[in-house]
Structure formats: structure tokens, C-alpha cells
Amino acid sequence: MNPSEDAMVATAPWSEGVWLHPATFQELLNKPLRVLLADDEETIVISSLELFKREGWDGEGATNGPAALERLEHDEFDVVILDYKMPGNEGLQLLHRIADLYPNLPVIIITGYPSIESAIASVQQKAFDYITKPLDMGYLLKRAREAAEQYRLRQALLRSEQRYQSLIDDVLEVSQVALMIVDAEHRVAWMNRAMERFFCFQRHAVLGREVRAFIAEDLAPAFDNPAEFQRIAFAAYDNNAYPEHFECRVTETEDRKGRWLEHWSQPIVSGLYAGGRIEQYVDITTRKRAEEDLRVSRENLRTVADYTYDWEGLVGPDGCFVYVSPSCSQITGYPAEEFLKNPGLLLEIVHPADRGLVRHHLDEVKREKQGSCQLEFRILCRDGSTRWIGHVYQSVFDDSGKFLGRRASNRSITKRKASLPDADEWKDKTGKLDQLIK
């Protein structure tokens, strides 16, 4: 019978500090155990292998030392049952050879010539067991299963530890994100190279320290606002039940590079460090500089647009104003906020005699994204006066060709219009000029 999962956990002393889920044990044991049985008596090899196979095992046999080594070289086994005296195994030479080549592979010694000397020698060579002939097959099967299952668990733990170490060495250790792990007793348990690089201290001097002392004495002073950083960090450890997230800036010194960091931390709820906390710091300096450059650029552009003489506007693809310059108030009497809130206000203030012309123009603009257009029309200002507007629009696209909307420029041309004769006066003057020419 297979040992229970609890029994397997209890009989794995090498697994201290490393935990495998019970499902992992079952997965390990689903694959048939494999035995290599080496004895110079071929009848024992054949009969024993048949018994092992009836119990669900898989395996192979060998009748001398060289054959056994060849089997081990070309296949995998979970346990070796080895006759103490057979060709190629004088003085436990084969056991010693197996221990050198496969140090964790368990070997059970069987012998028809038992002695205290051979038993001691087998134990000294770290044989798993020493069993005398005639063989008690029930006991042999029991001990072989124990040896094979322990070997499989040991190999699984070894692979797990190797994967864990690879995760640390090949991923977390070289990560550009600074990481720190604090244990349940709130002592610094681990940190990666990026923590050293960001804050200019040596890990060996930090590991094991109480985290509040480390924050107060070493970490917080590195930031522009040490008191605020310490307050937030201490609060997270006082009530280690919530994630924390904020941005902070490292002060530049002769030894330390100034940089913006994004701090993330959260409680650890399971595993070896359950009850502790993990902190990470992401360098966001490039992003912050880009944001500042964009802010300055937008501010400069808005300053230019806000102080232009003409009434400027940007209409989005949906037909609504995205931006309206403050000069619209000087021209129309209506502040920019009203045009932004009411996309139809422009058409509402157009002179009734020109409204059809402007409406047709706006409809054409909606249908055609490409191109530009010029138009002159009158508006009714808030104070009741009438003004002529010279209107120009131009389609706007980004570098990839995406349509962003239309830029509209509106200039008061009332004075220019007033300086021109009206249609009847112009007709009268041209008529008199024709008479003189005749």
C-alpha cells in the first residue's frame, strides 16, 4: 500500500523550509516506480521483477556489475537492489560507484552471506538497507517502496529548490524593479540589487534589521520628504492589512542618483513569509520627465492660443468644441465656457439671413474630413450688435494620419465690410462710370 500523504510529509526531513502541495505528491506517485535489480542469480532477478511488476512497479534486471552500470546510464530508476557478492561488485565496488555517479539514488543491499563486517560496510557506504537471504519479499517490497518514494520526493524538492534559486538569481536579482521582502517579525529578509542601486547602501548591512529602524535611519532620508515617507510606511506596517501605492522622489547626492519612484507594497498572506510585507520601487523618472515636458508644451501652446487676437477653436471629430480661445468673448460677448457647453451656440448666434449658408457649410464640413474652407457671415452679439465674421477652417491630422478634428479661426471683419459700399451704391457708381466712358 502507498503511504498516506500525511505520512509522506512527516517522513521528509529534508523538506524543511520547502513545502510541496499534496497534489504534487500524488502526481509524483502516479508514474510507476522503477527498480533495478542486480543479482548474479538470474532466477532471483526474474522472479523478483515479476513480483514487483504485479505490485505496479516497472523495472529491469542485471546479473553483473557492468550490466547494472549500463542500465543506470541509459535509464532512470528510483531504487537499486544490489547483491553484495556478484561479478563486478567485489568489496561493494559497485555500491561505491553508484554513490559517486548518482549520489541520491537509494541502494538496498541483499546478501546470502551476511556478516557484521559487510553490514557495517554497507551502512558506511550509505546503503538504504541491508537485507539477508532468503528474501522476505513482503519486507523487501516495503523497504523498496519507502526508498523509491523518498527518492522521488527528494528529487522533486531538489528541482523545486533549483527553480526557486533560478527565479531569485535569474529574474528577481537582476530585475530593474527594486524589491524588498520583510518577514512576519518585521525584519528585512531579502532585497535585490536594484535596492542597493537606487538607495546606495549595502544589503549585508540591512538584512535582519527591524524594518522601522531601517526606514527611519536609511530609507526615508533618501527621499525629498522624509517625514511623509516615514509616516506612510510606518502606517502600512502598523496595520499590515492593505496595499499601499504612491510616488516619491529620491534626492540626488554625490553618491546617489536622483530619480522618481513609484512605490507599491502589500501584505504577504501565504508561504514562508506570511504575515510579512513585500515592497517594490519602480523607476518612473523617464515618464515623469515626459509628463513635465508635455505639461510645459501644452502650457506654452495654450498661452499662445489664449492670447491670440482671433477667435480660435478646435472642433473634435464628434463636432463638439475641444478648445475655444478666450478672445471669443471680445468678439461675440459669449465666454468660451458657453461654446464648450453648448455645441450649437455658434449656429444660434448667426444672423438669420446667413444661417442657411452657415448650416450648409457645417454639414459639408461633417461629411468631408479633408480640406479647408473660407466663409464670411454675420453674427448677433450678446449686446445685440451685428458683426461680420471671416471664418477659416482647416482639417487637423496627427503624424500617423489619424483625423483629430478641425481648427477654426474666426476674425471680426466688420470694419472692412463697413468701408466697402453696399450693392446699390456700388451699382450706381459703376453705372455713372460706364456713362463717362461712353
Q: Which of 12-16, 230-234, 243-247 has the lowest mean pLDDT?
A: 12-16
pLDDT score, position 186: 95
Count how many Cα atoms sit within 13 Å of the Cα of residue 121 in the half-sphere of its side chain.
16
Q: CA separation (Å) from 284 to 94, 166, 221, 291, 300?
A: 61, 27, 19, 10, 24
- pLDDT at residue 19 above 60? no
**Top-confidence residue, 159 or 74:** 74
pLDDT score, position 3: 35
pLDDT score, position 22: 54
Q: pLDDT tens digits for 241-251?
A: 999 999 999 99
pLDDT band at 30 (very low <50, low <70, confident <90, very high): confident
Q: pLDDT tens digits for 154-178?
A: 888 777 777 777 777 777 888 899 9
Q: Dmax of the chain from CA atoms?
A: 150
pLDDT band at 18 (very low <50, low <70, confident <90, very high): very low
Q: Are strands 386-397 and 403-412 parallel, antiparallel or unpaired?
A: antiparallel
Percent of the chain residues past pLDDT 90, beyond the cut? 57
Q: pLDDT tens digits for 103-154?
A: 899 999 999 988 898 898 888 888 999 999 999 999 999 999 999 999 988 8
Q: Which of 34-48, 143-157, 259-273 has the lowest mean pLDDT?
A: 143-157
Q: pLDDT tens digits for 341-370?
A: 998 899 999 999 999 999 988 888 777 766
pLDDT band at 91 (very low <50, low <70, confident <90, very high): low
Q: Which of 4-18, 187-201, 357-371, 385-399 has the lowest mean pLDDT?
A: 4-18
- pLDDT at residue 233 above 70? yes
Structural domains for the chain: 5-170 (3.40.50.2300), 175-288 (3.30.450.20), 308-419 (3.30.450.20)
pLDDT score, position 403: 86
Query: pTM to 2 decimals?
Result: 0.51
pLDDT band at 11 (very low <50, low <70, confident <90, very high): very low
pLDDT score, position 293: 87
Average pLDDT over residues 382-398: 91
- pLDDT at residue 50 above 70? yes
Query: Which range has the top average pLDDT, 4-8, 87-91, 413-417?
Result: 413-417
pLDDT score, position 297: 80
Q: Which of 302-316, 331-345, 376-390 has the lowest mean pLDDT?
A: 302-316
pLDDT band at 12 (very low <50, low <70, confident <90, very high): very low
Q: pLDDT tens digits for 297-312?
A: 878 877 877 778 889 9
State the chain's mean pLDDT as an integer. 85
Average pLDDT over residues 74-96: 86
Task: Collect contacts of 268-275 with beta carbons under 8 A, ≥24 apart.
Answer: 268/181, 271/19, 272/17, 273/181, 273/182, 273/183, 273/184, 273/189, 274/184, 275/183, 275/184, 275/240
**Top-confidence residue, 209 or 90:** 209
Other C-beta atoms lying within 10 Å of the C-beta of residue 141: 18
- pLDDT at residue 404 above 90? no
**Top-confidence residue, 184 or 90:** 184
pLDDT score, position 26: 58
pLDDT band at 188 (very low <50, low <70, confident <90, very high): very high
- pLDDT at residue 282 above 90? yes
